[in-house]
Amino acid sequence: MTVDDHTLDMVAMSRDEYERLVDMLDREPTEVELGMAGALWSEHCGYKHSRPLFHHFPTEGPYVLTKVGEENAGAIDLGGGWCAVFKMESHNHPSALEPYQGAATGVGGILRDIFAMGMRPVALLDSLRFGPLSDPNNRHLFSGVVGGIGGYGNCIGVPTVGGEVQFDASYSGNPLVNAMCVGVGRIEHLLSAQAGGPGNPLLLVGADTGRDGIHGATFASVELDEGSGDRRPAVQVGDPFTEKLLMEACVELAEQHGDWIEGLQDLGAAGLTSSAVESAARAGTGIEIDVALVPRREREMSAYDVMLSESQERMLVIPKREHLDDVIALFRRWELHADVIGQVTDDGMATIVDGDREVARIRVDVLIDAPRYPPEAERPASLDRAQAEDLDAIADVADGAAATAALLTLLGSENIGSRRWIYRQYDHQVLNQTVVRPGGDAAVVALPPDGDGDRSGARRGFAVATDGNGRLVALEPRIGAQIAVAEAARNVVATGATPAAITDCLNFGNPEKPDVAYELEQSIIGLSEACEALGTPVVSGNASLYNETPDGAVMPTPAVGMLGVIDDVERHLTPAFGSGDTAVLLGASPAQPASALAGSEYLAGLLGRLAGRPEIDLDLEVRVQQLVLDAHGRGLLTAAHDCADGGLAVTVAESCLAGDVGFEGVAELDFGPGPGARLDAALFGEVQSRFVVVVQSSTDADALLELAAEAGVPATVLGTAGSGGGGDRIRLGPVDLALDAARDAYDGALERALAR
Amino acid sequence: MRAAVIVFPGTWSDGDCVYALGRVGVDSRRVWHRETEFAADELVVLPGGFSYGDYLRCGSIARFSPVMEAVRSHAAAGGLVIGICNGFQVLCEAGLLPGVLMRNDSLQFRCQDIDLLPAQHSSPFTAGIAAGRVLRMPVSHGEGNYYADEATLDMLEDSGRVAFRYCDAEGRATAGANPNGSLRNIAGITNEAGNVLGMMPHPERACDPLLGGVDGNAIWESALGGVSAATAGA
């Protein structure tokens, strides 16, 4: 063996993996071959610990046009000849080191994933996790990440319409930055990412290649430690202006000249290596690249540097030979240069030359055949300990004044308070398609209008939300993951849309540790079970493992991005109460036992305890969601809100704030305390499968209660909003809170946390 | 009437402007930044975006663009020109309007609805708007903080060239209603002749009840009336 440990460390390859490579080649790899194999066999590209579990994921459903695996992401049928593609991807480690650029290039990367498929990006979302804002470094990371997301999205002109953020100590120093993009277009404009047709040229388009981001894929596949700062060169720098040109050119290519090309593929993790090799693998071909033909922005770059650079804003185009000049001319018109750097071959080999010197010649199927490590999972004992804690031993809220104070504290907390500080830094309206803006359960986005301002042919659209509560997954991974899917679906249903499919981002610690392996395996099973139950297959996704600092792993956090279809965007719902509205709780009765507090924000945020066992009944979940869609279909509802984080009291308060009205709860409502029922559990418990919906007349209320009874869904009239009751106070059971006080606490939550 | 919507490589509000103009019955053509001609009766629109990436200073490169010479001639000949957001920045950089747009006083990008009060009714863009009518529409910018020296500000006020001010719902130009720190709450100004308007807020986003409001249409409709009258007079 000639290779030393340092070299293997640089490519994050184990000695065993190196020997596996030597066996497959029947010789020692060259330096470039080792670099290419290291990148493609990294967790980030090769999914070696997660892929053995992917078979659990359902991939087919009524809305799925193309399955994931055949291309970079599956496509969803929006009706009327339109389709959507969407995907979520992590940029956790770069954001931990360089929050602005890390987040910005995360947005840039996910945008390229979408327009590489020929679809126009029309919505961005971000699922974020940070340590508590009481720590200055977390404030620095949070502000930087929000700035970077805005800096890229605002400049390129794609609206950031939603997302979520949660704060927990486990994310200190290892934030989670998951960026999601939705693109739409006509079904016939979907492009392939296949390097088909031997003899066709490989065209590299966009930015020049520098040394930035070399080993980015391997960096994403190791734990963060004190030395991670030295990896800063592995973080790339974004140029949204060049990306805008690339986006316009690629969308134009797809919409007008899709027949000119065989394939289009973005350059992301592992740069040219993964882009060229994966598109060849999909087509069953080979590729030959001459690195001397790759335009560079730095001197004396080696073949190794060029093949592994993660310079941003680059695309690989595989034009049909006869249309090479047409394609180059199209990119030139967008002021981009396009250079032939090689060609498609029929020998199944990845051949890399540097001028007349061959530096790598390795089988494509070897490069994409990353080792697979089925998880060696062991259920951590801590789970059973946390679940066995006696929640009844916790003192209930003493009285109405204490309950009101607890509600005010929750409304003003980092995890519940308004996200306005974040989304007002994002352009969430450009493109004139954002029908429901950030701040509610899900965004609603209309399809593009016709050029002359007529929207009559484009009433269709989609609703989209991200979700994933790490606390619940930490307590019971399989159940917590089911809840992540269910809640994301509930968010979409709350706008009146029908859930269609998900993308997911699996954020976990080091999978080589048995407890993390358990979390990963159980989460994937849980996600899959919920997707099956709700009829929402997985159309794309990404795994980010090794999210650990010397202080430990992040909470297991599968982030789910859910897309729902909506036939008429004008008929959407929001959480806002209107004056005189009657609010109805669906899915559970108001009175709840202590077990409802499991994993709740009340327990974690106010009492500092992560305990209990989260529960969900997926059959009930499906019935409740269907009930809301049926009731909305009959025109019974005027508002709907997912009842989740912070529990019923927070849900009602949020709907009051959204509508700027007070609330008067029904006097005889039973919240407890009583046998097996507690006030805190009723007000702040986080029982799943609940909505608060609104009807405008007693006739509609009766019709809704009847529908609920037929569906076997508990339903309770909660009270009346606005001038009909409550005035400018929120009154629910013993809670009595001035609307203004609630607004001050809620609106200023993040500003206050950041001003510390 | 027809509109010419200018497209720099980094422009992203061109489609929104075309859509909004369509809603008030105006046909538009998109004009690539290398083109150099407008018809005399065209409403020239410089939409929002990041014209050339704006890494130096917003609009600082765009002013050298071939199309800007044509915009200058169009304006000099009395043609209507409206610059929105980045378009306002470009008009200031090109010297067609006085002052500059600095970084927001919050040092952050701001995307939110604001209220806007027309401060004059002498330009084609405001003549058709009822006195005292408060318009609600979004702003979306990181550099919208209008600055000019005191003498220039006084001159603008005295000559009725302040077109719009940020205000509260009752039309008062309060500090709390100012989203970016603009001096004297200035949201938009015109040139001396009144045929060139620059404004930071986005009327083209407030054009459809589906998107949350239609107040922006008042500005297009006012300009439409102005051109119709001018054409009729000729």
CB-CB under 8 Å, A446 with B140:
no
Strand (E) or helix (H) holding A177: strand A176-186
Q: Any CB–CB contact under 8 A between A428 and chain B?
A: yes
Helix (H, G, I), strand (E, B) or coil at A620: helix
CA distance B49 to chain A (A): 7
User: Residues 6 or more apart from B160 whose CB is under 8 A from it?
Assistant: B119, B120, B122
User: Which residue, B20, B2, B16, B7, is CA-closest to B208?
Assistant: B20
Q: How far apart are the first and last CA of chain A?
A: 56
Ranges of residues in chain B with a pLDDT under 70 are 53, 55-58, 226-234
State which residue of chain B sits closest to A150, comparing Cα positions: B109
Question: Could you give the ipTM of this predicted complex?
Answer: 0.94
Q: Are A138 and A131 in contact, with CB atoms under 8 Å apart?
A: yes
Catalytic residue positions of B, numbered: 85, 202, 204
Q: Give CA–CA dist A631/A707, Å, rounded.
A: 8
* Domain A1-41+192-370 identical in fold to domain A383-417+573-756: yes
- CB pairs below 8 Å between A and B: how many? 100
CATH classification number, A383-417+573-756, choose in 3.40.50.1370, 2.60.40.10, 3.40.50.300, 3.90.650.10: 3.90.650.10
Q: Residue B140 is nearest to which of A334, A335, A430, comparing CB atoms?
A: A430
pLDDT for residue A455:
59
CA distance A298 to chain B (A): 21
Strands (E), A291-348: 314-319, 338-345
pLDDT for residue B234:
35
Bridge partner residues of A554 (DSSP)? none
Q: Give CA–CA dist A232/A224, Å, rounded.
A: 12
Domain boundaries, chain A: 1-41+192-370, 75-190+429-570, 383-417+573-756
CATH (domain of B201)? 3.40.50.880
Q: Which residues of A touch B13 (CB under 8 A)?
A: 157, 430
- Both tokens of A634, joined, read 């009959």
State which residue of chain B sits closest to A239, comparing Cα positions: B53
pLDDT for residue A226:
64
Q: Where are the alpha helices (DSSP H) in A235-374?
A: 240-257, 271-283, 303-308, 324-333, 364-367
- Both tokens of A384, joined, read 């059973």
CA distance A100 to chain B (A): 13
Question: Pairing relation of β-strands B135-141 and B27-32?
Answer: unpaired
User: Using CB atoms within 10 A of its CB, is residue A326 exposed (0-12), middle (13-18) or buried (19+)?
Assistant: middle
Q: Any CB–CB contact under 8 A between A239 and chain B?
A: yes
Mean pLDDT of residues grouped by 10 in chain A (756 residues)? 82 93 96 95 90 93 81 87 95 94 95 96 98 97 97 96 97 96 95 92 96 73 66 73 96 96 93 95 96 94 94 96 98 94 97 97 96 94 94 94 98 98 97 95 90 62 97 98 98 98 97 96 98 97 93 96 96 95 96 96 96 97 98 98 97 97 90 85 97 96 98 96 76 95 97 91
Q: Residue B19 is nearest to which of A150, A244, A432, comparing CB atoms?
A: A432
CA angle (A116 as vertex; A113, A119 as ends), nearest 5: 95
CB-CB under 8 Å, A451 with B53:
no
pLDDT for residue A227:
64
Q: Which residues of B touch A103 (CB under 8 A)?
A: none
- Both tokens of A481, joined, read 């993951």
Residues of B with CB under 8 A from a CB of A: 9-13, 15-16, 18-23, 27, 48-50, 52-55, 108-112, 138, 140, 142, 202, 204-205, 207-208, 210-212
pTM: predicted TM-score of the whole model, two decimal places: 0.95
Number of domains in chain B: 1
Bridge partner residues of A354 (DSSP)? A357
- Both tokens of A149, joined, read 């997301």
State which residue of chain B sits closest to A248, comparing Cα positions: B9
Question: Of B5, B7, B12, which to mutate for an interface test with A (greatest number of A Cβ within 10 Å)?
Answer: B12
In degrees rounded to 5, what are phi and psi of residue B75?
A: -65, -45
CB-CB under 8 Å, B20 with A451:
no
Q: Any CB–CB contact under 8 A between A126 and chain B?
A: no
Residue numbers of the domain that contains B151: 2-233
Q: Residue B210 is nearest to which of A242, A424, A435, comparing CB atoms?
A: A435
Q: Which residues of B touch A100 (CB under 8 A)?
A: none
CB-CB under 8 Å, B110 with A241:
no
User: Which residue, A207, A177, A185, A4, is CA-closest to A104?
Assistant: A177
To the question of domain A75-190+429-570 being in CATH 3.65.10.10, the answer is no
Q: Are A207 and A312 in contact, with CB atoms under 8 Å apart?
A: yes
User: Which residue, A365, A359, A254, is CA-closest to A315?
Assistant: A254
Bridge partner residues of A503 (DSSP)? A540, A561
Q: Which residues of B touch A240 (CB under 8 A)?
A: 50, 53
Percent of chain B past pLDDT 70, that is, above it, reads 94
User: Residues 6 or more apart from A630 whose CB is under 8 A from it?
Assistant: A707, A711
- Both tokens of A93, joined, read 């480690």
- Both tokens of B233, joined, read 């007079």
CB-CB under 8 Å, B27 with A154:
no
Q: Are A663 and A583 in contact, with CB atoms under 8 Å apart?
A: yes
CA distance B45 to chain A (A): 16
Q: Which CATH class is domain A1-41+192-370?
A: alpha beta
Taking only the tens place, the pLDDT of each residue in B174-215 is 999 999 999 999 999 999 999 999 999 999 999 999 999 999
CB-based burial, A497-535: b 16+ in 10 Å, e otherwise: bbbbbbbbbbbbbbbebebbbbbbbbbbbbbbbbbbbbb
A93 in catalytic set: no
User: Which residue, A236, A244, A197, is CA-closest to A219?
Assistant: A236
pLDDT for residue A318:
97
Taking only the tens place, the pLDDT of each residue in A625-654 is 999 999 999 999 999 999 999 999 999 999
